Amino acid sequence: MINWYMIALKKYAEFNGRARRSEYWYFFLGNLIISVITSFIDQSMGTSFIGMIFSLATLIPSIAVGVRRMHDVGKSGWFLLIPIYNIILAATDGTKGVNEYGPDPKGMQDEINQIGEKLEN
Protein backbone atom coordinates (compact mmCIF):
# COMPACT_ATOMS: atom_id res chain seq x y z
CA MET A 1 0.00 0.00 0.00
CA ILE A 2 2.77 2.42 0.90
CA ASN A 3 4.45 1.72 -2.44
CA TRP A 4 1.32 2.74 -4.40
CA TYR A 5 0.90 5.82 -2.21
CA MET A 6 4.48 6.88 -2.89
CA ILE A 7 4.07 6.28 -6.64
CA ALA A 8 1.14 8.70 -6.69
CA LEU A 9 3.10 11.26 -4.66
CA LYS A 10 6.11 11.00 -6.97
CA LYS A 11 3.81 11.85 -9.87
CA TYR A 12 2.80 14.95 -7.87
CA ALA A 13 1.42 17.06 -10.71
CA GLU A 14 1.46 14.61 -13.63
CA PHE A 15 -1.93 14.82 -15.28
CA ASN A 16 -0.91 12.90 -18.42
CA GLY A 17 -0.89 9.15 -18.67
CA ARG A 18 -2.88 6.49 -16.89
CA ALA A 19 -3.19 5.17 -13.32
CA ARG A 20 -4.16 1.64 -12.32
CA ARG A 21 -7.04 1.04 -9.94
CA SER A 22 -4.65 -0.01 -7.21
CA GLU A 23 -2.65 3.22 -7.51
CA TYR A 24 -5.82 5.32 -7.22
CA TRP A 25 -7.55 3.39 -4.44
CA TYR A 26 -4.45 2.88 -2.29
CA PHE A 27 -3.73 6.60 -2.56
CA PHE A 28 -7.33 7.27 -1.54
CA LEU A 29 -7.07 4.84 1.40
CA GLY A 30 -3.72 6.28 2.50
CA ASN A 31 -5.15 9.81 2.46
CA LEU A 32 -8.15 8.65 4.46
CA ILE A 33 -6.00 6.98 7.13
CA ILE A 34 -3.62 9.94 7.41
CA SER A 35 -6.58 12.35 7.56
CA VAL A 36 -8.09 10.42 10.47
CA ILE A 37 -4.73 10.46 12.28
CA THR A 38 -4.23 14.20 11.71
CA SER A 39 -7.81 14.76 12.85
CA PHE A 40 -7.07 13.05 16.18
CA ILE A 41 -3.85 15.03 16.57
CA ASP A 42 -5.65 18.28 15.78
CA GLN A 43 -8.40 17.51 18.29
CA SER A 44 -5.90 16.73 21.02
CA MET A 45 -4.06 19.99 20.32
CA GLY A 46 -7.22 22.03 19.86
CA THR A 47 -6.29 23.23 16.36
CA SER A 48 -6.95 22.27 12.77
CA PHE A 49 -3.56 23.32 11.46
CA ILE A 50 -2.02 19.88 10.78
CA GLY A 51 -5.05 18.52 8.93
CA MET A 52 -5.31 21.66 6.85
CA ILE A 53 -1.63 21.50 5.86
CA PHE A 54 -1.98 17.81 4.93
CA SER A 55 -5.11 18.49 2.88
CA LEU A 56 -3.45 21.31 0.99
CA ALA A 57 -0.30 19.25 0.41
CA THR A 58 -2.24 16.34 -1.08
CA LEU A 59 -4.80 18.33 -3.07
CA ILE A 60 -2.86 18.43 -6.35
CA PRO A 61 -1.67 14.78 -6.16
CA SER A 62 -5.27 13.70 -5.43
CA ILE A 63 -6.57 15.50 -8.49
CA ALA A 64 -3.68 14.23 -10.63
CA VAL A 65 -4.15 10.56 -9.70
CA GLY A 66 -7.90 10.94 -10.25
CA VAL A 67 -7.38 12.42 -13.72
CA ARG A 68 -4.94 9.64 -14.61
CA ARG A 69 -7.50 7.08 -13.35
CA MET A 70 -10.16 8.58 -15.63
CA HIS A 71 -7.66 8.36 -18.50
CA ASP A 72 -7.16 4.65 -17.77
CA VAL A 73 -10.83 3.97 -18.45
CA GLY A 74 -10.68 6.05 -21.63
CA LYS A 75 -12.43 9.16 -20.29
CA SER A 76 -11.36 12.77 -20.01
CA GLY A 77 -10.15 13.98 -16.63
CA TRP A 78 -13.21 16.23 -16.46
CA PHE A 79 -15.30 13.14 -15.66
CA LEU A 80 -13.76 13.37 -12.20
CA LEU A 81 -16.21 16.22 -11.52
CA ILE A 82 -19.34 14.11 -12.08
CA PRO A 83 -20.58 12.77 -8.71
CA ILE A 84 -21.17 9.02 -8.32
CA TYR A 85 -20.29 8.32 -11.97
CA ASN A 86 -16.64 9.12 -11.20
CA ILE A 87 -16.66 6.48 -8.44
CA ILE A 88 -18.08 3.93 -10.89
CA LEU A 89 -15.38 4.83 -13.42
CA ALA A 90 -12.65 4.67 -10.77
CA ALA A 91 -13.78 1.15 -9.85
CA THR A 92 -13.98 -0.01 -13.49
CA ASP A 93 -11.14 -1.97 -15.04
CA GLY A 94 -9.02 0.15 -17.37
CA THR A 95 -8.94 -0.06 -21.13
CA LYS A 96 -6.80 -2.99 -22.25
CA GLY A 97 -3.78 -2.02 -24.31
CA VAL A 98 -2.96 1.44 -25.57
CA ASN A 99 -5.66 4.12 -25.57
CA GLU A 100 -5.54 7.81 -26.50
CA TYR A 101 -4.00 8.66 -23.10
CA GLY A 102 -1.06 6.27 -23.27
CA PRO A 103 0.04 2.67 -22.82
CA ASP A 104 -1.66 0.28 -20.44
CA PRO A 105 -0.11 0.69 -16.97
CA LYS A 106 -0.51 -3.03 -16.31
CA GLY A 107 2.37 -3.58 -18.69
CA MET A 108 3.65 -6.54 -20.62
CA GLN A 109 0.91 -9.03 -19.79
CA ASP A 110 -1.61 -7.20 -21.96
CA GLU A 111 0.93 -6.74 -24.76
CA ILE A 112 1.51 -10.48 -24.84
CA ASN A 113 -2.25 -11.07 -25.05
CA GLN A 114 -2.49 -8.59 -27.94
CA ILE A 115 0.27 -10.41 -29.82
CA GLY A 116 -1.68 -13.65 -29.39
CA GLU A 117 -4.85 -12.00 -30.69
CA LYS A 118 -3.00 -10.69 -33.76
CA LEU A 119 -1.67 -14.16 -34.54
CA GLU A 120 -5.18 -15.66 -34.38
CA ASN A 121 -6.54 -13.14 -36.91
pTM across the whole model:
0.83
pLDDT at 105: 87
CA–CA gap between residue 72 and residue 70 (Å, rounded): 5
Query: How large is the average pLDDT for residues 37-57?
Result: 94
DSSP string, 48-59: -HHHHHHHHHHH
| Each residue's pLDDT tens digit, 2-37 | 888 998 899 999 999 999 999 999 999 999 999 999
Query: How large is the average pLDDT for residues 43-53?
Result: 93
Query: How large is the average pLDDT for residues 78-89?
Result: 96
Residue 106 has pLDDT above 90, yes or no: no
**Where do the structural domains in the chain lie, given as residue ranges?**
2-120
